[in-house]
Structure 1
Amino acid sequence: MSSPPPPPAVLVSNGAVSPHAPPSAATFLESTAGAYTTARASPTGGLLWWPRHLLRLADSARRLAESHPHLLGLPGPPPHALSASPIAPLVNRSVRVGVHEMRRLGDRGSEDLAITALVRADGSPEGLEVCVHLGLYVPPVFGVAGARLAVAGGGREAAAAKYAPWARMRKAMEKMRPPGTTELLLTNDGDRLLEGSVTNFFVVCRKEEHLSSEPLSVQAMSNEIEVQTAPLSDGVLPGIMRQIVIEVCHDLGIPVGEVSPSWSKRELWEEAFVTSSLRLIQHVETIQVPSVWEDIDSKTWNDVSWVVKQFQGAGCITTQIQRKISERAIMEEYNIANLCEL
Structure 2
Amino acid sequence: MTSSNSFLVINGVLSHSPPETPSVSVFLNNQSGAYTTTRTHNNTSSLLFWDRHLHRLSNSALILSKSNPYLFTSDMNWVSSFSSFSNWVSLIRPLVEESLCNGLCMALREKGFCGTEGELAITTLVSGNSRVCRGIDVYVHVGGYDPMVFGRRENGARLAVVGCGRDVAMAKYSEWVRRRKYMEKLRPPSATELLLSNDGDQILEGSVTNFFVVCRREMDAANDDPNEPKSKYSFEVQTAAISDGVLPGVIRQLVIEVCSSKGIPLREVAPSWSDRNLWEEAFVTNSLRLVQHVEMIQAPISWEQLHLKNSEKVSWEEKQFEGPGLITEEIQSEIMDRADVEGYPVSNFL
**Which TM-score band applies after superposition, normalised by the shorter structure?**
over 0.9
Q: How does 1:310-325 map to 2 (within 5 A)?
A: 310-325=320-335
Aligned to 1:197: 207
- Number of equivalent positions: 335
TM-score by length of 1: 0.93
Shift of 1:26: 1.1
Q: Which moved more, 1:253-262 or 1:289-298?
A: 289-298
User: Structure 1 residues 45, 179: closer, same or farther in 2, change over 3 A?
Assistant: same
Q: How does 1:119-158 map to 2 (within 5 A)?
A: 119-121=126-128, 122-144=130-152, 145-158=155-168
- Is 1:185 the counterpart of 2:190 in the alignment? no
Of residues 83, 89, 93, the one that matches 1:88 is: 93
Structure 1 spans left out of the alignment, 5+ residues:
none
Distance 1:185 1:313 in 2: 19
**Structure 2: distance between partners of 1:165 and 1:102:** 27
User: 1:110 deviation in Å?
Assistant: 4.0
Alpha-carbon spacing, 1:75–1:89, altered in 2? closer, same or farther (3 Å) = closer
Task: Return 241-250 or 7-16, whichever deviates more.
Answer: 7-16
Partner in structure 2 of residue 16 of structure 1 = 13
Contact 2:9 2:16 in 1 (8 A): no
Q: CA offset at residue 289 of structure 1? A: 0.7
Query: Do 1:153 and 1:297's aligned partners in 2 also have CA atoms closer than 8 Å?
Result: no
**Matched-pair contact (CA < 8 Å) for 1:9–1:22:** yes
1:62 aligns with 2:66: no
Identity %: 50
- Larger fraction in helix: 2
- Equivalent in the alignment of 2:50: 50
Task: Describe the shift of the 1:116–1:217 C-alpha distance in structure 2 as closer, same or farther (beyond 3 A).
Answer: farther
Tell me the secondary structure at the aligned position of residue 21 of structure 2. Answer: coil
CA–CA distance in structure 2, aligned partners of residues 310 and 316 of structure 1: 16
- Cα distance change on mapping 1:125 and 1:323 into 2, 3 Å: same
Q: 1:116 aligns with which of 98, 123, 128?
A: 123
SS in 2 for 1:133: strand
Judge conservation of contact 2:163–2:195 (CA < 8 Å) in 1.
yes
1:71 counterpart residue number:
71
Post-superposition Cα deviations, 1:9-33, rounded to whole Å, max 9, x if no partner, equal 1100011011452111111001110
Task: Output the CA distance in 2 between the equivalents of 1:44 and 1:10.
Answer: 16
Shift of 1:209: 2.3
- Amino acid paired to 2:143: G
Partner of 1:234: 244
Amino acid corresponding to residue 12 of structure 1 in structure 2: V
Q: Deviations over 1:64-83 (max 9, x none)?
A: 01111121143657333353
**Alignment of structure 1 residues 302-317 onto 2, 5 Å:** 302-317=312-327
Amino acid in structure 2 at the alignment position of 1:9: S
> Partners in 2 of 1:172 and 1:9 — Cα distance?
27
Distance of 2:229 and 2:71 partners within structure 1? 45
What amino acid sits opposite 1:117 in the alignment?
T
Instruction: Quote the residue 1:101 is aligned against.
Output: 106
Aligned positions of 1:239-258 closer than 5 A = 239-258=249-268
SS in 2 for 1:157: coil
Name the SS for the 1:309 alignment partner: strand
2:82 counterpart letter in structure 1 = A
Stretch moving more, 69-78 or 46-55: 69-78
Aligned with residue 292 of structure 1, among 302, 305, 314 = 302
Determine helix, strand or coil for the equivalent of 2:66: helix
Q: What's the secondary structure of 1:117's corresponding residue?
A: strand
Deviation digits for residues 231-251 of structure 1, max 9, x if unmatched? 000000000000000111112
Checking the alignment, whether the CA contact within 8 Å between 1:271 and 1:311 is kept in structure 2 is yes
SS in 1 for 2:304: coil
TM-score by length of 2: 0.91
Q: Which runs of 5+ in 2 are unaligned?
A: none
- 1:168 is displaced (CA, Å) by 1.3
Aligned to 2:111, what secondary structure does the other structure show? coil
Structure-2 separation of matches of 1:30 and 1:308: 32
| SS at 1:105 equivalent | helix
| Cα RMSD for the two superposed structures | 1.9
- Please identify runs of 4+ aligned residues in structure 1 that moved more than 4 A: 4-7, 215-218
The secondary structure found in structure 2 opposite 1:33 is: coil
Report if the CA contact (8 A) 1:218-1:317 is conserved: no
